[in-house]
């Protein structure tokens, strides 16, 4: 830690951040007007500290969950609808069927699809209301909808019912996304009530679900603190977060907002130091904004690619050959070794290195996290590594003529990756002169 970073860290205080958390703990943030009040408080606290804040106000299409209940077997069960459920305040009635599914053990699997693709359960699901253990998450709702469910009840763990969202669309849909907006009624219940509803389903009793939803376009406040750099004002480090907006807002996002607010205060107070702009862990941000060489090592990404390729090849066996992709990744890794050796030896200029490193990010990050091109969103479902070739792990699941189509899918995915790796290698060569 250098002297500037130590001064910044020593100036950190819990006074304002904890006051924000305490404030957020005593009122709800559900309607966009309430959320805007929360943003007003963040802005007010920053401005009292002398920090300049710009407040943007985009218009967003939002889904607002209201009250919900489930009625079955002469009983009424408490429920919560996920955001983006279809409104059914007058009730959706149907036969209740229990379908066992893979449960999300943690946040890493919360967006997974829940059913084994080899299971044939459409005949049980189609036209019925499904109850299944798990969160009413995008993966669960999308998969049951594809199989013909008219409604879904997710059984949450424990006695609490969790708020959530059930759309596979990230953010505001565009015209291409609209077909993926959920067209199914969904609610969540707690585990004890869920167990009772499973017994009702097994008895062949019908069920009615009553979620109340509001959807529309709302102006939403977005504060920005912009701290200009001294040497590279066209470049910036982005630090961002979002406000918890359901029930009591003290959770990871609320404490994260408090942390962002304190980072903005500290970095603003030391705004004469950064070489690059900062747009809102202050030492981490300060180090990135001030370092001579950007602290990102793409050799680690190349190693990860090689590990993924080896795993996919082992699963695919002799059904597909990923050797050309492996060779492209090995060639890139060797080029990156030379690149970092040149940085250490001083034969690669810092300016050239710093121009290349973010360019490599723009090439290598998307191929490991997306299938869609830039400025488009993949569905809000779990994405496997190097997703355009992940079908290599599923070749054994495609019967009849489908293996040929799957191999064609793999070939196109491999070609995309080889092209990107070669582009990255050429960018490294350019930086090395």
pLDDT band at 280 (very low <50, low <70, confident <90, very high): low
Query: Are the CB atoms for 266 and 47 separated by under 8 Å?
Result: no
Residue range 136-150: average pLDDT? Answer: 92
Contacts of 284 (CB under 8 A, 6+ apart): none
Query: Are the CB atoms for 126 and 230 separated by under 8 Å?
Result: no
**Mean pLDDT, all residues of the chain:** 88
Sign for the pseudo-dihedral over CA of 366, 332, 108, 387:
positive
Q: Is 181 helix (H, G, I), strand (E, B) or coil?
A: coil
Does the pLDDT at position 46 exceed 50?
yes
pLDDT of residue 76: 98
Residue range 1-25: average pLDDT? Answer: 83
Residue range 298-303: average pLDDT? Answer: 98
Q: Which helix (H) or strand (E) holds 271?
A: none
Contacts of 215 (CB under 8 A, 6+ apart): 61, 62, 63, 64, 87
For residues 31 and 279, the model is more confident at 31
Residue range 231-249: average pLDDT? Answer: 70
Does the pLDDT at position 288 exceed 80?
no
Q: Percent of the chain beyond pLDDT 70?
A: 88
pLDDT of residue 105: 46
Contacts of 139 (CB under 8 A, 6+ apart): 110, 111, 112, 113, 114, 168, 381, 382
Residue range 354-362: average pLDDT? Answer: 96
Buried b (16+ CB within 10 A) or exposed e, 41-67: bbbebbeeeebebeeeeeeeebbbbee
Burial tier of 246 (Cβ tally within 10 Å: 0-12, 13-18, 19+): middle
pLDDT band at 281 (very low <50, low <70, confident <90, very high): very low
Tell me the C-alpha distance between 118 and 111, whole Å: 19
Least confident of 63-72, 82-91, 399-408: 399-408
**Nearest 5°: CA angle at 138, between 136 and 144?**
75
Start-end of H helices in 270-401: 282-290, 299-316, 323-345, 350-369
Start-end of H helices in 138-270: 138-146, 191-202, 252-269
Residue range 275-296: average pLDDT? Answer: 62
Does the pLDDT at position 391 exceed 60?
yes
| Residues 70-123 pLDDT 10s | 999 999 999 999 999 999 999 999 999 999 876 554 545 555 555 655 567 888
Q: Is 319 helix (H, G, I), strand (E, B) or coil?
A: helix
Least confident of 59-68, 104-113, 313-322: 104-113
Residue range 353-373: average pLDDT? Answer: 95
Least confident of 44-58, 271-285, 291-305: 271-285
Q: Percent of the chain beyond pLDDT 90?
A: 65
Among 225, 230, 238, 274, smallest CA distance to 358 is for 238
**Nearest 5°: CA angle at 133, between 129 and 138?**
75
Buried b (16+ CB within 10 A) or exposed e, 21-37: bebbeeeebbebeebbe
Strands 129-133 vs 151-155: parallel, antiparallel or unpaired: parallel
Q: Which residue do the tokens 């996919």 mark?
A: 312
For residues 324 and 31, the model is more confident at 324
| Residues 346-357 pLDDT 10s | 999 999 999 999
| Residues 167-216 pLDDT 10s | 999 989 999 999 999 999 999 999 999 999 999 999 999 999 999 999 99
């Amino acid at each position: 830690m250098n002297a500037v970073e130590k001064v910044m860290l020593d100036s950190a205080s819990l006074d304002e951040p904890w006051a924000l958390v305490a404030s957020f703990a005593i009122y709800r943030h559900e309607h966009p007007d309430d959320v805007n009040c929360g943003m007003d408080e963040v802005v007010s606290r920053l401005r009292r500290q002398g920090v300049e804040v710009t407040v943007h106000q985009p218009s967003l299409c939002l889904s607002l969950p209201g009250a919900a209940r489930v009625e079955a077997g002469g009983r009424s069960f408490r429920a919560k609808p996920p955001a983006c459920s279809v409104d059914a305040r007058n009730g959706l009635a149907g036969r209740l069927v229990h379908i066992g599914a893979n449960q999300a053990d943690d946040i890493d699997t919360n967006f997974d699809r829940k059913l084994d693709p080899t299971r044939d359960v459409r005949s049980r699901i189609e036209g019925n209301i499904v109850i299944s253990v798990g969160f009413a998450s995008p993966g669960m709702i999308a998969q049951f909808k594809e199989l013909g469910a008219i409604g879904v009840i997710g059984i949450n763990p424990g006695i609490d019912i969790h708020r959530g969202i059930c759309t596979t669309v990230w953010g505001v849909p565009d015209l291409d996304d609209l077909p993926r907006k959920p067209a199914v009624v969904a609610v969540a219940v707690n585990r004890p009530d869920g167990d009772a509803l499973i017994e009702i389903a097994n008895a062949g009793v019908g069920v009615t679900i009553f979620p109340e939803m509001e959807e529309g376009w709302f102006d939403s406040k977005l504060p920005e603190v912009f701290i200009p750099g001294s040497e590279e004002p066209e470049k910036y480090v982005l630090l961002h977060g979002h406000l918890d907006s359901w029930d009591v807002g003290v959770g990871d996002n609320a404490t994260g907002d408090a942390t962002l607010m304190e980072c903005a205060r500290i970095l603003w107070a030391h705004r004469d130091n950064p070489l690059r702009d900062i747009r809102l862990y202050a030492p981490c941000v300060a180090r990135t904004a001030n370092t001579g060489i950007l602290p990102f090592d793409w050799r680690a990404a190349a190693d990860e690619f090689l590990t993924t390729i080896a795993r996919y090849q082992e699963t695919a066996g002799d059904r597909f050959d990923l050797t050309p992709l492996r060779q492209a990744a090995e060639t890139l890794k060797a080029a990156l070794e030379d690149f970092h050796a040149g940085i250490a030896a001083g034969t690669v200029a810092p300016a050239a290195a710093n121009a290349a490193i973010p360019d490599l990010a723009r090439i290598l990050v998307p191929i490991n996290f997306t299938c869609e091109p830039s400025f488009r969103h993949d569905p809000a479902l779990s994405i496997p590594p190097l997703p355009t070739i992940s079908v290599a792990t599923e070749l054994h699941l495609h019967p009849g003529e489908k293996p040929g189509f799957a191999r064609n899918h793999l070939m196109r995915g491999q070609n995309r990756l080889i092209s990107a790796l070669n582009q990255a290698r050429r960018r490294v060569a350019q930086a090395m002169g």
